[in-house]
Amino acid sequence: MWKPLSPLVDLLDQYHGYIIGFAALAAVLLLNQLIYRRSWKSYPSLEEYLAAHPGCDTREGIVCSRCRQRASGAAVVGTGHIYRCTWCDTELYRIDQIG
């Protein structure tokens, strides 16, 4: 009766550590995305950031209000981008995904 499931049981027995590890990694990454999505509106939009810090819009791009270094973006799946300072790691603003 269990003969057809024997290869599957052997596979699970041999690689159970990898399966548990990848499942834990997937859970952590999913939780991280849920936390970012939950607090998404707590970041100011680009327009709100520039209204609060008008000197931060330069020819080289948007800069940090604290240390005047350039901003770099990090994608948040299904939501948009969060831009942070490349030097002091301050979270600056968000850009919502279009569509």
Give the per-residue pLDDT at 41. 77
Coil/strand/helix, residue 90: coil
95 and 64 assigned to the same domain: yes
28 and 59 assigned to the same domain: no
Q: What is the pTM of this model?
A: 0.57
Q: What domain count does the chain have?
A: 2
Q: Strand ranges (DSSP E) for 1-99?
A: 57-58, 61-62, 71-76, 80-85, 91-96
pLDDT per position in the chain (99 positions), as tens? 567 778 877 878 888 888 889 999 999 988 877 776 667 778 888 899 999 999 988 888 888 999 988 888 877 766 788 888 888 888 888 888 765
Domain range spanning residue 34? 1-38
The 10 Å Cβ neighbour count of residue 76 is: 17
The 10 Å Cβ neighbour count of residue 35 is: 10
22 and 9 assigned to the same domain: yes
Give the per-residue pLDDT at 1. 53
